[in-house]
Amino acid sequence: MFDAIPGRAAFLDDELRYRYVNQEFLTALGTTRERVIGKSVDDVLGAETAELYRAAMPGLAKGAPQRMRRQGPDEGGAHHWIEEELRPFAPAGALQGVVCAARSLASVEECGSAQSEWLESHKTREAIHAAVVDSALDCIVVIDAQGRVVEFNPAASATFGYSREQAIGKTVAELIVPVDLRDRHNIGLERFRSGGPSSVVGRRVELEAMRADGSRIPIELAIAAVGSGPSALFTAHLRDLRPAREAQAQIEGQREALYQSEKLAALGSLLAGVAHELNNPLSIVIGQALMLREAAQSRAALDAQFEEFAERGAKIETAANRCARIVKIFLAMSRQREAQRGRVEIPELVERVLELLSYGLRTAGIEVTKDIPADLPPLLADSDQLHQVLLNLVVNAKQAIEAQPAPRRVSIVARADQAAQKLDIRISDNGPGVPDAIRSRIFDPFFTTKPQGVGTGIGLAVSRGLIEAHGGSLTLEPPQPDAGAVFAIRLPIEAVMIESPPSVENSAAALQEAVKRRALIVDDEVEIANLLAEILRRLGFDCELATSGDHAKQAVAARPADLILCDIRMPNGDGPAFYDWLSIEHPQMANRIAFITGDVLGPGADRFIARSGCPVVEKPFTPEDIRLVADLLCDDAET
**What is the sign of the dihedral through the CA atoms of 593, 599, 600 and 603?**
negative
Query: How far is the C-alpha of 488 from the C-alpha of 413, rounded, in Å?
Result: 10
| pLDDT for the residue numbered 566 | 92
Which residues belong to CATH 3.30.450.20 in the chain? Answer: 8-110, 136-240
Tell me how crowded residue 215 is: count the other CB atoms within 10 A of its CB. 9
Question: Angle of helix 346-363 relative to helix 383-401, nearest 10 degrees?
Answer: 30
Q: Taking the chain (639 residues) in consecutive chunks of 10 residues, what is each chunk's mean pLDDT?
A: 78 93 88 92 90 91 86 66 87 85 67 59 67 80 86 90 90 89 82 68 84 90 74 83 85 73 65 69 81 80 76 81 70 59 89 85 90 91 86 89 87 91 92 82 68 58 84 88 86 67 45 65 89 88 91 91 90 89 91 81 72 86 86 70
Q: For residue range 553-608, list pLDDT tens digits in order.
A: 999 988 889 999 999 888 888 889 999 999 999 998 888 999 988 765 556 677 88
Q: For residue range 244-259, list pLDDT tens digits in order.
A: 888 887 787 777 767 7
Contact indicator for 563, 540 with CB cutoff of 8 Å = no
| pLDDT for the residue numbered 445 | 66
Q: Which fold has domain 343-499?
A: Heat Shock Protein 90 (3.30.565)
Tell me how crowded residue 628 is: count the other CB atoms within 10 A of its CB. 16
Q: Are strands 97-104 and 8-13 parallel, antiparallel or unpaired?
A: antiparallel
380, 394, 393: which is closest to 469 by C-alpha?
Answer: 380
| pLDDT for the residue numbered 584 | 92
* The one-letter amino acid at 10: A
Residues 6+ apart with CB under 8 A from 609: 595, 616
CATH 3.40.50.2300 fits 504-638, yes or no: yes
501, 522, 499, 503: which is closest to 594 by C-alpha?
Answer: 522
Angle (CA) 581-584-590 rounded to 5° is 80
State CA 621 to chain mean position distance: 44
Residues 6+ apart with CB under 8 A from 496: 343, 377, 378, 379, 380
3-state class (DSSP) for residue 541: strand
| pLDDT for the residue numbered 12 | 93
| pLDDT for the residue numbered 579 | 93
CATH 3.40.50.1370 fits 8-110, yes or no: no
Q: Does residue 30 come out as left (phi exceeding 0), alpha (psi in the -120 to 50 range) or beta?
A: left
Which residues belong to CATH 3.40.50.2300 in the chain? Answer: 504-638
Which residues belong to CATH 3.30.565.10 in the chain? Answer: 343-499
Question: Angle of helix 623-638 relative to helix 526-538, nearest 10 degrees?
Answer: 60
Q: For residue range 49-88, list pLDDT tens digits in order.
A: 899 999 999 988 888 889 888 877 665 566 677 888 899 9
Strand order through the sheet with 408-417 = 366-371, 408-417, 422-429, 486-492, 473-476
356, 413, 353: which is closest to 385 by C-alpha?
Answer: 353
Contact indicator for 491, 381 with CB cutoff of 8 Å = yes
Residues 6+ apart with CB under 8 A from 258: none
CATH for 136-240, options being 3.30.450.20, 3.65.10.10, 3.40.50.300, 3.40.50.2300: 3.30.450.20
| pLDDT for the residue numbered 475 | 92
211, 213, 200: which is closest to 242 by C-alpha?
Answer: 211
Q: Exposed (0-12), middle (13-18) or buried (19+): which is 353, by Cβ within 10 Å?
A: buried
State CA 223 to chain mean position distance: 33
37, HSE (Cβ side, Cα atoms, 13 Å): 8
Tell me how crowded residue 161 is: count the other CB atoms within 10 A of its CB. 16
Sequence length of the chain is 639
3-state class (DSSP) for residue 532: helix
Does the reported pTM lie above 0.85? Answer: no
Query: How far is the C-alpha of 174 from the C-alpha of 166, rounded, in Å?
Result: 12
Contact indicator for 257, 456 with CB cutoff of 8 Å = yes
User: What CA dihedral angle connects 107, 110, 115 and 118, to 10 degrees?
Assistant: -140
401, 402, 424: which is closest to 414 by C-alpha?
Answer: 424
Q: For residue range 439-479, list pLDDT tens digits in order.
A: 877 877 655 665 554 555 567 877 888 888 888 999 988 88
Encode burial over 578-596: b for 16+ CB neighbours within 10 A, e otherwise. Answer: bbebbeeeeeebbebbbbb
